[in-house]
Amino acid sequence: MAMIETINLTKKYGDLVALDNLNLVVEEGACLGFIGPNGAGKTTTIKILATLLKPTWGEARIDGNVVGYQNHLIRPVMGYVPDFLGAYEDMLVLEYLEFFAACYGIHGKRRMKVVGDVLDLTELGYKAKSEVNGLSRGMQQRLSVARVLLHDPKVLLMDEPASGLDPRARIEIRELLKELRRMGKTIIISSHILHELAELCNAVAIVEKGQLLFNGTVAEIMRRAGTGRLVHITLDDRHEEAARMLAEVKGIERVDVNSPEGKPRIDVMLDPEHGLPVSELPSRLIAQGFRVETIQHEQVNLETAFMRLTKGIVS
């Protein structure tokens, strides 16, 4: 079942097209990594889903309800985490959460329990009497997540939750997001930290210039980008000649000669459908009289797939 769906979603600011007929589907319980270059339309999409922006045309649905027409049904089941926390000056963490709990209609003893529960979940209990503005950036992000969990929403929309965080704070936010996923929340995370998204998410959507390039699982994006094993080979000389020879080998998808750190290197992308063994490469080179210095292979990751798709190699 689709928990989030957009149908030809378009947003224009004058002549600028921020979103161009975006058709996105997020299944219930999925954790979607929403990625793209700066200005691709990620924040615009999230703000429309959060009922903070109206689309120029097209439609967005959350839990079957149409954004803009049934916002009163959407907001109780949705939580939005912006990239920066906003709070009144001198407000304490406990006051901040109690204020928003009251806004959600949570009162009395139930409010005390709910606030205590989200403080425990986000491990902010020891900061309950601290001023919000005095918290570190990482603590503020955790507080922002705590705020949207007060009414136990089905859907979480998170815009760059790890932006500007130090490594320790990023790890803490990542572990919190894993726990939310285990709780069955449907989550959209916009982020540039792709290796962490690959660990967190079971689905990925890539946008560029307001258009959807890809929407599917991490495994599917690897296949779509034509990614298999990437092999790095260095020779004592004749790199260009060796690259031309390897380019003719069946089972090799692409061959490039690069010079990282000023030293020539042959980068060979193997066709994942063919299954050519890596050991075949040095054997062929040696048979043709090339002297191999080093050979190293690696599994292509989400970052590589993202770069290939957004460069238009596959679209």
Residue pLDDT, tens place only, 16-59: 999 999 999 999 999 999 988 888 899 999 999 999 999 999 99
Mean pLDDT confidence for 94-117: 94
Compute the average pLDDT of residues 278-293: 89
The whole-number average pLDDT for the span 298-305 is: 67
Q: What percent of the chain shows pLDDT beyond 70?
A: 90
pLDDT confidence of residue 107: 92
Q: What are the residues facing 291 on neighbouring strands?
A: none
Check residue 307 and give its pLDDT: 67
What is the set of domains in the chain, with CATH numbers? Answer: 2-222 (3.40.50.300), 228-299 (3.30.70.100)
Q: What mean pLDDT value characterizes the chain? A: 86
